[in-house]
Each structure stands twice: as structure tokens, then as C-alpha cells.
Amino acid sequence: MVLLVWSRTWVQAAHVQRIVGWQGEYRTTVSPDGITCRTDHSTLIQKWSIFRGYRETEGHFVLLSRDPNIMMLDVLAKRAIRETGDLERLRAILDLRIPRM
């Protein structure tokens, strides 16, 4: 049973990767103005006002949408942080802009 549950999650993740893979590498920048996500084909800028808060897990920051009618999440992976101190700077920006939930 555990193998079935694990494999279903893996298959779904692989399917999502196939769907968005043509866009190339995603590059995300967090600044006091908001979050900017860039690919080879598009740029998405999200102001802090669209988020109602965030949760921190062991490996991610999950930002939740303010609009109750739209289920939107932004996930910032901690593994993408390269330098010491960047994790604390990111946490400080999030704490200043949106509440921790």
C-alpha cells in the first residue's frame, strides 16, 4: 500500500514536470517589492499584497493566496539558497511583508 501511495505521488510529479518542462529553468527572486519568477519565455511579478501569509516547513516556505476563491500557493525551496545568511534574510523579508501562519 505504501508503495502504491508513493508511486502515485511520483507519477503525478513527473507528469507536472513534463507539462512545464518546455519552459526551461525557473529563476525566482525575492525582494522587498515581491516575488519575481522568470523562465526563458515569461516573467511573473507577484506583489506581497496577494499573499495572506506563509508557513515554513523543513525544506520550504509556502506562501498562501489572500483570495479565498483561488487556491494559489507559491513554494520557495530552501535548497535553492546558496550562501549562509540568505535563509535568515529571506525569513526576515517574509516576516516584514506577510504574517507567519
Nearest to 56 by CA among 95, 25, 100: 100
Q: Count other Cβ atoms within 10 Å, centred on residue 51.
A: 21
Q: What is the pLDDT of residue 6?
A: 59
Confidence of residue 46 (pLDDT cuts 50, 70, 90): very high
- Residue whose C-alpha cell is 511573473: 44
Provide the edge-to-edge strand list for the sheet that holds 60-65. 51-56, 60-65, 73-77
Q: Enter the pTM of the model.
A: 0.74
| Cα–Cα distance measured from residue 27 to residue 15, given in angstroms and rounded to the nearest whole number | 21
Distance CA 72, CA 69 (A): 9
Higher-scoring residue by pLDDT: 69, 52 = 52
